[in-house]
Structure 1
Amino acid sequence: MKMTQQLDQTLSPQIHIIDGKEFAETLRQSVAIGARAFREKRGRAPGLAVVLVGQDPASQVYVRTKMKKALESGIDSFPHLLDSSTSQADLLQLIEKLNNDRYVHGILVQLPLPAHIDESKIITAIDPAKDVDGFHPINVGLLGQGKASLVPCTPLGCLMMLKDHLGNLSGKKAVIVGRSNIVGKPMANLLLQENCTVTIVHSRTEDLYSECRQADILVVAMGKAEFINAGAIKPGAVVIDVGINRVDKGGRSVLVGDVDFDSVGPVAGAITPVPGGVGPMTVACLMGNTLAAAEAIERDRAARY
Structure 2
Amino acid sequence: MNSNELFIISIQRSGSNWLHRCLSEHSMIRINGELNVSMMLQTLDLVRAGDEISELKLKSTGIYKQAAQEYIRLLMRANTNASVDDEFTYLTDKSAYPGITSLIKKPEQKQYAQTLNEYFPVAKKILILRNARDVVVSFSEWKKQNIGSLLIATPRSLKFFIRHLNNWCTLHESWLKNIEKNNNWHIINYEDMKNNFSDTLKKTYEFLELEVNEKFISDVTEKWYGINNPVYQKENKERGYSFFRKGDIGEWQEKYAWWHKVIYNLLFKSRVEKIYLRIGRLNN
Assess same fold via TM > 0.5: no
The structure that is helix-richer by fraction is 2
Q: TM-score, normalised by structure 2?
A: 0.31
TM-score (norm 1): 0.29
Structure in which a larger fraction of residues adopt strand: 1
